[in-house]
Every structure is written in structure tokens, then in C-alpha cells.
Amino acid sequence: MSNIAPTPWDRAVETPVPGEHVVQMYRDPALLVDVVARYCQRGFVASEAVIVIATHAHRAAFARRLTTLGTDMPACVRRGQYVDLDADGCLAAFMVDGAPDRARFFAAVTPHLEHARHAGYERIRLFGEMVEVLRSTAFAAAMRLEELWHELLERERHPLLCAYEVDPLDRLDGRVLVPAIARRHSHVVPADDAVRFERAIERAFVEVFGADADATLLRQLCEGYRPLASAMPAAQAVLLSLDDLSPDLGDAVRAVAAGHSAGAAR
């Protein structure tokens, strides 16, 4: 069962608009399986094709989860509505000297889109974690790959869901990875449990900046002090702003929030 509280951010994952490039960040791999299965199932219900590019282990887990949700997976595969591709195999097709090659990338991905269209599916939703596979060893290459995906989405107008196993409340992940990833997506879903994440940041903000009216004003100013490249929950926007305004205080809020979030999870 999903442990995600319903939030506006569920919409971005479950019913993405064509061209949207959504990123789900997670700490619990079980959460990823849950989210991707819901994403696929909503696509099937809407008569869309789904192309999943994932690790071997995740592909198997997604299929199992979809089956338990009542999806007839062999039938979906037979009619070309569900295509799952191996992330490593795809990467091998377009990585050159440790970086994604634009032409080879398009040559590797586009035929699968064509195939789905020929099977009668004009609307296709995509899930990809090649970026996560690359991220741990070649972060710059992963970000370049995100840009290529972005280019493809602008041309093809399909929605894409990406996933990263990063923790926005971790000092390094939060300061370095999250801003870079956020810049390359249209929608950011920063945590397993959006409500818990929001509460943890709220409590941390009070502890670091006080509980008075000025602290509330300050939070409002942080939320909207500059335009963001992507849509994200207010709590994540506050963290990004704090990192820009005072990285040490951003770290302080993250550290306190991590404690609250872990406490709430227990």
C-alpha cells in the first residue's frame, strides 16, 4: 500500500501533462516501486502506452507490483502498451567516452516511441532511471542526459518521470544534487512523504528562526524571493532559497528537519 499522503504533487506523478518532466526523489526503494506502478497504471487506464527504462531489479519489481494492482501485464506487453527496457543496455547504446552522445541518444530512444505509436498509442508516458544509474559515478553525464531528455520532450510532447535516490534533507544531497536536479525538471517531488517533509521543514524553521510573526514573514519572503525553474512544494523552495541566502542556515534547517522527519517516520 502506498504510504504517500495525497498532495497536489501526486497530480504531477499520476496525471502528468504532455511535455512535463517530473522528478521523484526518494530514500525508500519500496516507495519508488509504488510510485512508478501508480504512474504506469494510471497510464494504462488512460489508454496510454508506457515505456519504462530501469534497472533489471526495478523492472521486475514494477511488473510484480502492477500485477498485484490487477494489471494483466502479459496482455499489456502483447499489445505494445508496456515496454520495459534495461537501463544499462540503453546507456551502452549512446554513451561515448563517458558522456551521452546526442545523436545516438535520439537514435536509441525514438524507435521505441515510434513502435508504441504504431501499436496505436498516440499518448505515451515515460519513466527513466538511466540518470540515476549514471548519477553515482558521472553526475555531469547524468545532468547532460537530463538535458537531452528535455530536448526530446519538447519535440515529442510526452511526459517523463525520473527518479533519484537522494535525500533533500542530507547536507550534500540537499546543497549540491537537489538544486542541479531541480533546475533540469519542470516538477520536483522532493520526498517520500510530502506532508511529513513539509511539517519537518516547518518545525525546523521555527527552531532555527523562532516562532514569532517575523519568522513567518521570513519564510514567505524565502518562498517567493526569486523565480524558480521548476514547480516544487513550498518547503523545498524555502530550502533552495536558504541555500542561496545563507548556506550555513540552510544546513541548519536541513539538519533539524532531518531529525524531525526521522522521528515522525518512527
In the complex, which residues of this chain contact other proteins (CB under 8 A)? 208-212, 214-215, 217-218, 221-222, 224-226, 242, 245-246, 249, 252
Q: Are 52 and 83 in contact (CB under 8 A)?
A: yes
Cell reading at 138: 558521472
Of the pair 97, 248, the CB lying nearest other proteins is at 248
Q: 86 by DSSP, 3-state: which?
A: strand
d(CA 166, CA 177): 8
d(CA 183, CA 236): 13
Smallest separation, CB 235 to other proteins (Å): 16
Smallest separation, CB 249 to other proteins (Å): 6
3-state secondary structure 41-105: HHHHHCCCEEEEEECHHHHHHHHHHHHHCCCCHHHHHHCCCEEEEEHHHHHHHHEECCEECHHHH
Q: Are 22 and 159 in contact (CB under 8 A)?
A: yes
Of the pair 160, 237, the CB lying nearest other proteins is at 237
Of the pair 147, 212, the CB lying nearest other proteins is at 212
Of the pair 186, 241, the CB lying nearest other proteins is at 241
Of the pair 89, 210, the CB lying nearest other proteins is at 210
Helix (H) or strand (E) holding 206: helix 194-209
Smallest separation, CB 219 to other proteins (Å): 9
CA 242 to the chain's CA centroid: 22
Smallest separation, CB 218 to other proteins (Å): 6
Smallest separation, CB 43 to other proteins (Å): 41
Q: Of 146, 145, 159, which Cα lies nearest the Cα of 39?
A: 159
Smallest separation, CB 210 to other proteins (Å): 4
How many CA within 13 A on the CB side of residue 252?
Answer: 11
Smallest separation, CB 209 to other proteins (Å): 5
Of the pair 154, 212, the CB lying nearest other proteins is at 212
Of the pair 84, 243, the CB lying nearest other proteins is at 243
d(CA 29, CA 16): 22
